[in-house]
Amino acid sequence: MPKFLLQKVNQIKNKIYKINKSMNKRKVEVLVAYTRPEFWRAVQRRRIENQINDKQDADYIAFLRTQLRDDKGNAVPSMITHIAKVIEIRIVRVNHDYYVKEMPEALETLSSKGLDKEHFDKEYILNEIEELDKPIPHKKGEPARGQVVFYTTLEELRSAQYIQDIKTVRQLEVKKEQDIYRK
């Protein structure tokens, strides 16, 4: 294949496509993303949260920060500390080279898990990342949710004292259905 044609094909392959938000009927209000320190640094620098393309569109991203340490290096409970409004969502083709350029601080973690192989990600482009007035910690002695992300509402985040208090969108839908049948 001629070099110029190969370059054109690669440009098209790597082109970033905007999502037509109206096409995703399962948009949620808040996507809560588990965020290790190296990914948190990348999010702060870029104001972009990456998730594998199968995640739902969201109006907001809340950051559940994991593997936190205090000033003395002691582990502290995971907690939701920040939230940001999503202003745009894009689908991008990612691979090792993408992460070298865009998220070098997370490259070692991604490579060790085999996640630097070529695939499609969703980029959630964020407005200002705002610190919560009061972080929402993980309740000691309680099991973690065991997920990479979960979906909820702003109302649930505002009313939660602990992460375990937050109902997911699915739990809220089931409760709504149960309430309807009780009437």
For residue 175, the domain's CATH number is 2.30.130.30
pTM higher than 0.85: no
Would 21 be classed as within a structural domain? yes
**What is residue 168's predicted lDDT score, i.e. its pLDDT?**
83
Residue 117 belongs to some domain of the structure: yes
* Distances 78 to 94, 140, 143, 180 between C-alpha atoms, Å: 28, 10, 12, 36
Distance between CA atoms of 88 and 97, rounded to whole angstroms? 23
Asked, for residue 2, whether it belongs to a domain, the answer is no
Element (H, E) at 51: strand 48-52
5 domain residue, yes or no: no
123 inside domain: yes
The boundaries of the domain holding residue 47 are 12-182
| Domain count along the chain | 1
And the tokens for 150? 């979960």
For residue 7, tell me if it sits in a domain: no
- Average pLDDT by stretches of 10, the chain with 183 residues: 59 49 66 94 96 92 94 92 97 91 90 85 96 92 73 92 88 70 63
**What is the DSSP secondary structure assignment for residue 26, as one 8-state letter?**
T
Q: Which helix (H) or strand (E) holds 28?
A: strand 28-35
> Which pLDDT value is given to residue 177?
67
